[in-house]
Structure 1
Amino acid sequence: MRTRYRFERRTLLTGGIGLALAAVPGARVPLAQSLDKVSFQTNWRAQAEHGGYYQAVAAGIYRRHGIECEIRMGGPQQNPSQLLLAGRVDFIMSNGFQALNYARENLPFLTIGAIMQKDPQVLMTHAGNGINSFEDMKGRPILIGASGRVTYWPFLKAKFGFTDEQIRPYTFNVGPFMADRMAIQQGFISSEPFAAQQAGATPRVFLIADAGYQNYQTTIDASRRIVTEKKDLVQRFVNATIEGWTAYMKGEDVGAANGAIKRDNPEMDDAKIAYAVRVMKEAGIVQSGDALQLGIGAMTDARWKSFYEGMRDVGLYPAGLDPARAYSLEFVNKRVGLT
């Protein structure tokens, strides 16, 4: 299985594979009502980690909100941020670092929702080898990709005393991991551990978010122009997306959504999808923290401030940056999907 590390690839994505998902017949939209067309660019090929968007299309949720949503699947030659900056898409899937980049570079874009309350980034090693905590990893070689060195790695250095001398190149496959029982490598909780299991290993997984790493992941980003000029459309898109994610995480009639994921990305199968959904639920990737009280997609000023200050303190962002310029809380925290 080809290992995928979405944050790493997120820095490489350019271009576009346009894939429009057909709406399900019977969606409750008045015949006389025209649908607002929007495009949403994902950060990688279709997978369970995008399931809520596929669910919102497949179950007709976007249509019930008066929207025809075109999901444009990401890939190795695409950069969602560049597509957004060029005005080629309406919304993109991104992350907290990109939001702070908007503020730092004074760009007219911002984050309007955060689907993943926890960044799925993990370090993993082999069970039973004596490495039982992040503290036990200090001084040991760790397989890390290029973008990890400027995102979560500075956090780990500050938190646990890691040093750059520990870094070894990550080749985005589990071969080196399988060859060394003392190996430690990066991954996403929903992907690399599954690949290691399929190869015969028993991985032990350490979620960096649980150590205090506060990056929002799988965010929804948009231009300030659409947020200002089309508030109603943006609100309907956000609400429908949240409803799609609520249904997908509950496992309510997700067969059509999963079928669309598998059609768009033949590397996906039922086992991979089921594993990803299960570990996302167990780890609280989507539904934890503020989302439990405010609904999926929740964000808060306090967390954005804390995330910025933490990344400032490790040298990734300058002092004096106003993190409030990176996001808007206008469209989330409305308890959509909570009953």
Structure 2
Amino acid sequence: MKLALNWKPEPQFGGFYAAQVSGFDKKNGIELDILPGGAGTPVVQMVAAGQASFGIASADEVIMARSRGADVVAIFAAYQTNPQAIMAHEERGFKTLAEVYGAEGTLAIQKGLPYALFLEKKFREAKLPMKAKIVPYLGGIQNFLTDKTYSQQCFATSEPLAAAKQKSKAKAFLVADSGYNPYTTVVIVRGDVLKKNEDLVKSVVATVRAGWEDYLSKPEATNKKMAELNKSMDAETFRESAEAQKYLIQTVQTKASGLGSMSEARWKVLIDQLVDLKVVKTPAETLTHFRN
């Protein structure tokens, strides 16, 4: 059963690898074959075309894909709070993300992404000063390390930790706190597979939920496995990142409804935001996008 990732083996995928390491997939009558990804891996297209039975995407990607005719459905959301963030140098003393945008300096960000469009629209409509020079984000943190006026996009569980290892203190501002919070590390499946083989889908959800419960409580064995597959991340970073992401995955809702659960209200808010941003043209039926 192929599960296509959109990045390399890292703690953000720990629960999926834990499902393998602890044998939850076989206990549920399936065998997960996890396909690592990288920058630009077309996971949604792979799932839509049947090249992978399941894949990892974000909720806004699901909505945009469905608006273009791709029949993909979300069935499990590992991250309840999106880790997308903007990080600035702690010594600059920023208290809010609006202050980052309003200060002189450089802000490296992928302008066309929905979250970037949302932030720009939000701050412009509030008539806040926009003094930061926006430049394309090219990856890494080298420019951040050498320029105290440089801010950049990041994952709250990744680049700030990397900066700290280089003796550079970063303060990360979650985009979710500004009001744009799509579920991410979302498992997707084709709609026809969901309809024709609901038992399989239920087994996959049970498997990844058990994997995430296991990883959140004892990540050591799974981190060791992922480290063998991803030599670019050291053991300490695996440990720190696994710990840093817990509050983004375990929430009040997951305690009530189970890890990975989603709400119709959250999906509706996101659809309305994407329509407002003109990323998608018309509102869509919320319940077609996800299934708990």
TM-score normalised per structure 2 = 0.92
CA distance in 2, matches of 1:77, 1:155: 22
User: Residues of 1 paired with 2:179 and 2:67: CA distance?
Assistant: 23
- 1:102 maps to 65
1:244-259 pair list within 5 angstroms? 244-251=211-218, 254-259=219-224
Amino acid at match of 1:259: K
Match of 2:107 among 143, 148, 151: 143
Aligned equivalents of 1:307 and 1:214: distance in 2? 8
1:4 maps to what in 2? none
Question: Per-residue CA shift, 1:1-38, capped at 9, x if unaligned?
Answer: xxxxxxxxxxxxxxxxxxxxxxxxxxxxxxxxxxxxx1
After superposition, the C-alpha distances for 1:66-107 in whole angstroms (9 at most, x for unaligned) are 111111111246321221122111000001122102331222
**Pick aligned residue for 1:270 from 227, 232, 235:** 235
Contact 2:102 2:131 in 1 (8 A): no
> 1:212 & 1:278 partners in 2: Cα distance?
24
User: Which residue among 260, 264, 268 is the counterpart of 1:301?
Assistant: 264
Larger helix proportion, structure 1 or 2? 2
**Displacement, 1:240?**
1.1
| 2:12 aligned partner | 49
| Runs of 5+ unmatched residues, structure 2 | none
Instruction: Work out the CA distance in 2 between the residues paired with 1:39 and 1:173.
Output: 29
Taking only the aligned residue pairs, the percentage that are identical comes to 26
SS of corresponding position for 1:204: strand
Match of residue 180 from structure 2: 213
Q: Distance in 2 between matches of 1:156 and 1:76?
A: 23
Are the counterparts in 2 of residues 115 and 218 from structure 1 also a CA contact under 8 Å? yes
Distance 1:316 1:323 in 2: 16
Quote the offset at 1:136 in angstroms.
Answer: 1.1
Aligned partner of 1:27 in structure 2 is none
Match of 2:55 among 92, 95, 98: 92
Q: Is the 8 A contact 1:53 1:245 kept in 2?
A: yes
Residue 196 (structure 2) aligns with: 229
Q: Provide the residue aligned with 1:111 in structure 2.
A: 74
Give the distance between the partners of 1:247 and 1:165, measured in 2 at CA: 43
Structure 1 residue 160, shift from structure 2 partner = 2.7
Shift of the 169–105 alpha-carbon distance from structure 1 to 2, 3 Å rule, reads closer
Gaps of 5+ in 1: 1-37, 333-339
Q: How does 1:31-70 map to 2 (within 5 A)?
A: 38-70=1-33
Q: Distance in 2 between matches of 1:277 and 1:197?
A: 16
**In the alignment, what sits opposite 1:71?**
34
Deviation of the 1:279 alpha carbon: 1.2
Counterpart residue number, 1:35: none
2 CA distance for matches of 1:39 and 1:108? 18
Name the CA distance, whole Å, in 1 between partners of 2:97 and 2:179: 12
Contact 2:271 2:283 in 1 (8 A): no
* TM-align CA RMSD: 1.9
Match in the other structure for 2:138: 171
Give the whole-Å Cα distance in 2 for the aligned partners of 1:139 and 1:293.
Answer: 39
TM-score, length-normalised on structure 1? 0.80
Matched, 1:123 2:86: yes
Letter in 1 for 2:203: R
Determine helix, strand or coil for the equivalent of 2:135.
strand
SS of 1:138 mapped into structure 2? helix
Give, in whole Å, the separation in 2 of the partners of 1:45 and 1:123: 21
* Per-residue deviation, residues 292-321 of structure 1 (Å, max 9, x unmatched): 211111111111001111222222222333
- Secondary structure of 2:86's counterpart equals strand
Shift of 1:174: 1.5
**Number of aligned pairs?**
287
Query: Structure 2: how far apart are the matches of 1:312 and 1:77?
Result: 24
Match among 310, 320, 323 for residue 286 of structure 2: 323
- Cα distance, 1:142 vs structure 2: 4.3
Deviation track 1:261-292 (CA, whole Å, cap 9, x = no partner) reads: 011111122111111112112xx211124222
Contact 1:119–1:216 (Cα < 8 Å) also in 2: yes
